[in-house]
């Protein structure tokens, strides 16, 4: 796709009137390249659209969903409309450092289809963290599907690589008809990146750190529920049926499925304990000892807090 737009920044927005200006302005202020900013309003009930329309800049385009479809459905609309050589995903409550996109493209290998950088977290009290991943947790260079799968576990010490916000080559995504799954509202970024890798994408992890992830109370990713794990198990089954995986990828997938099943039984067990269903809880502990061992998690979290 040869055109004058280097990167299309796609922002899915729902009731984002309080913070979306920061996200849009961070995209518009990118230096050294041309951008368009595509905001897809996912049927907001607040003044999100009015805020976007107040921006006097031809690079900003507002698209409206007829009904709330979730972040995946909104991003699909944005991706379809994108005209840039690359597409960047930016959450409506996050932002990017001023040179992020220029630095990523400047460090990109010639044949890369997906580019990944590190990110920092901005806490609710305004403290910016160090880069989230170490080079061990997210090694520089080529990223493969096996590594992505086996580093996306729950209730472990492994930092999920599903949090990354890559740049995607527009041509690759459209040639391979890769879409977000609209029914996925938790882990949608993981499945999209995994689909790219399953379709043969060359994915490169870069040294740069330029994405700022804002920690907000009450976000869908802040607390894992039984229903979330049930959906992840169903989506993993869909992924395995959709793509042919190698032996190492299947091995990683089995490890992930075992982890998700363990998490499911742990959350069921916690629910029984909270309801004071002691006999039922003891029975579940006996049936799923690996899940019972996760009961130490709340204790560990408190110890880390006081430390």
pLDDT at position 34 is 97
pLDDT truncated to tens, each residue of the chain (307 aa)? 456 899 999 999 999 999 999 999 999 999 999 999 999 999 999 999 999 999 999 999 999 999 999 999 999 999 999 999 999 999 999 999 999 999 999 999 999 999 999 999 999 888 999 999 999 999 999 999 999 999 999 888 889 999 999 999 999 999 999 999 999 988 999 999 999 999 999 999 999 999 999 987 654 445 788 899 999 999 999 999 999 999 999 999 999 999 999 888 888 787 777 767 766 656 666 667 666 667 666 544 443 333 3
Dihedral over alpha carbons 90, 96, 98, 103 (to 10 degrees) = -80
pLDDT at position 157 is 83
The position carrying tokens 């609309």 is 77
pLDDT at position 26 is 98
Dihedral over alpha carbons 152, 208, 73, 260 (to 10 degrees) = 10
pLDDT at position 205 is 98
CATH number for the domain formed by residue range(s) 7-214:
3.90.550.10
The position carrying tokens 């204790």 is 299
Tokens standing for 45?
Answer: 């009930």
Domain boundaries in the chain? 7-214, 226-306
Q: How far is CA 65 from CA 14, 62, 226, in A?
A: 10, 10, 29
CB contact set of 252 (below 8 Å; sequence gap of 6+): 145, 146, 147, 149, 150
d(CA 143, CA 116): 9
pLDDT at position 273 is 75
> Is 19 in contact with 92 (CB distance < 8 Å)?
yes
Q: Work out the angle at residue 112's Cα, subtended by the Cα atoms of residues 184 and 30, and round it to the nearest 5 degrees.
A: 80
pLDDT at position 283 is 64
Tokens standing for 197?
Answer: 């890798």
d(CA 220, CA 203): 27
| pTM of the predicted model as reported, rounded to 2 decimal places | 0.89
Q: Work out the angle at residue 224's Cα, subtended by the Cα atoms of residues 64 and 70, and round it to the nearest 5 degrees.
A: 10
């Amino acid at each position: 796709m040869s055109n004058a737009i280097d990167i299309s920044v796609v922002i899915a927005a729902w009731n984002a009137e309080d913070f979306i200006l920061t996200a849009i302005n961070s995209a518009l202020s990118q230096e050294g390249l041309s951008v368009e900013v595509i905001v897809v309003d996912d049927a907001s009930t607040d003044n999100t659209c009015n805020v976007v329309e107040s921006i006097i800049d031809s690079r900003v385009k507002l698209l409206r969903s007829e009904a709330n479809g979730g972040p995946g459905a909104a991003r699909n609309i944005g991706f379809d409309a994108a005209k840039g050589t690359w597409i960047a995903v930016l959450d409506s409550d996050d932002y990017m450092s001023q040179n992020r996109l220029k630095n990523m493209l400047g460090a990109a290998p010639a044949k890369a289809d997906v580019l990944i950088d590190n990110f920092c977290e901005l806490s609710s009290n305004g403290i910016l963290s160090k880069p989230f991943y170490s080079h061990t947790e997210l090694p520089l260079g080529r990223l493969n599907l096996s590594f992505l799968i086996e580093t996306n576990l729950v209730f472990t010490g492994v930092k999920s690589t599903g949090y990354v916000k890559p740049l995607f080559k527009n041509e690759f995504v459209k040639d391979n008809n890769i879409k977000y799954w609209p029914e996925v509202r938790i882990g949608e970024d993981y499945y999209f990146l995994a689909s790219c890798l399953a379709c043969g994408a060359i994915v490169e992890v870069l040294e740069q750190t330029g994405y700022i992830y804002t920690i907000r109370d009450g976000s869908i990713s802040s607390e894992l529920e039984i229903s979330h794990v049930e959906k992840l198990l169903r989506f993993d089954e869909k992924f395995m049926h959709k793509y042919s995986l190698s032996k190492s990828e299947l091995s990683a997938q089995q490890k992930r499925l075992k982890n998700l099943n363990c998490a499911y039984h742990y959350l069921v067990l916690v629910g029984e304990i909270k309801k004071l269903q002691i006999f039922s809880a003891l029975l579940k502990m006996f049936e799923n000892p690996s899940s019972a061992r996760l009961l130490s998690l709340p204790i560990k979290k408190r110890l880390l807090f006081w430390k």
